[in-house]
Amino acid sequence: MKTYLVPIDFSETAAHAAEFAAALSHQTEVEHIVLLNAYYVSVYETMLPNPDMVLVTEEEVERNAAERQKKLEDFKQELQKKVRPGVQISTRLNRTHLVRAVVENIASKKAGLVIIGSRGNSSNDDAKIGSHVADISKISSVPVIVVPPACAIEQIKRVVVACDFNKVTYVGPLEPLLALLKRRAFEPLVVNISNRGANKDAEKIAKQTVLYEALMPYYPKYYFIENSDIINGILLFAKKSDAQIVIALPHKYSFLQSLLHTSVSKQLLESSAVPVLLLK
């Protein structure tokens, strides 16, 4: 994860996500943060007038682009003061849909992580979660961190790894997590939440799995918790444990099987007071 891609729509939530990325740079080996602003102007808007009989001219489109680029550069200068020394920040302005712009820049910039605010980046100002956030989380080929506006930006000390111990049968799905933990800067709390009773020895169960051996160098703690509402169970556990981020393994290795199939659980992202990292 040497490059982070951060979509920016100039909202407070997007700025908060960028500041989270800057703070994270002090704990990871990131070298480059790309600030991406995408805007789409339909060809019809420049050819046909809108209902108010106003035609968008090419000059107006170019002026809009120049204004956006200026705002990106100004924001970059402020963010540069907050990143780890040596981290490069660049800006990208794409005249296309945001989801497409993210996919293209993941490839062209070789981004290893997308960091996006849980609100904003949406054509619907009333949406509690930006409509594009769900799409990006689902279609991205790399892990995505969704940053809620309520979360405090602080040093990450504890991470909650939410998964079903027995479903991780090989190391592959753990590789992004291991890459994040390799600096040993975080304390992993591995939690399996069940609605069928939690009177079990979590570490004893974990010892029989691939998960235990893979995470052994990072000295994790294992928990088995009973809660009929898995999402709220995770969030409550994270809050009580004073964790700074929740990490969800890819859906088929987790009890959050519907997380990406439902375009990211709104309950998880709206209710969370901590960022949520969705591994791929």
Determine the pLDDT at residue 63: 86
How many Cβ atoms are within 10 Å of 202's Cβ, its own excluded? Answer: 17
**Assign residue 120 a region: left if phi > 0, alpha if psi is -120 to 50, beta otherwise?**
left
Residue 174, Cα to own-chain centre: how many angstroms? 17
pTM of the predicted protein model: 0.84
pLDDT in tens, the chain (280 residues): 799 999 999 989 899 999 999 999 999 889 999 999 998 765 444 444 445 545 556 777 788 889 999 999 999 999 999 999 999 999 999 988 899 999 999 999 999 999 998 865 444 443 433 567 778 888 899 999 989 887 889 999 999 998 878 777 788 778 888 887 877 678 999 998 776 655 578 888 888 888 899 999 999 999 988 877 777 788 889 989 999 998 887 755 454 444 444 444 455 555 567 888 888 7
Q: Where are the beta strands (DSSP E) in the chain?
A: 3-7, 32-38, 88-94, 113-117, 144-147, 158-162, 187-194, 221-226, 245-248, 276-278
- E strand or H helix at 271: helix 266-271
CATH 3.40.50.620 fits domain 158-278:
yes
Token representation of residue 219: 């000295």
For 180, residues 6+ apart whose C-beta sits below 8 A from its C-beta are: 1, 28, 159, 186, 247, 277
CATH 3.30.70.1230 fits domain 3-147:
no
Q: Could you tell me if 94 and 37 are in contact, meaning their C-beta atoms sit under 8 angstroms apart? A: yes
Determine the pLDDT at residue 16: 93
Determine the pLDDT at residue 91: 98
Determine the pLDDT at residue 46: 44
Determine the pLDDT at residue 241: 93
d(CA 120, CA 45): 23
Determine the pLDDT at residue 201: 84
Residue 186, Cα to own-chain centre: how many angstroms? 17
Does 3-147 match 158-278 in CATH topology?
Answer: yes
Q: Write down the domain spans for the chain.
A: 3-147, 158-278
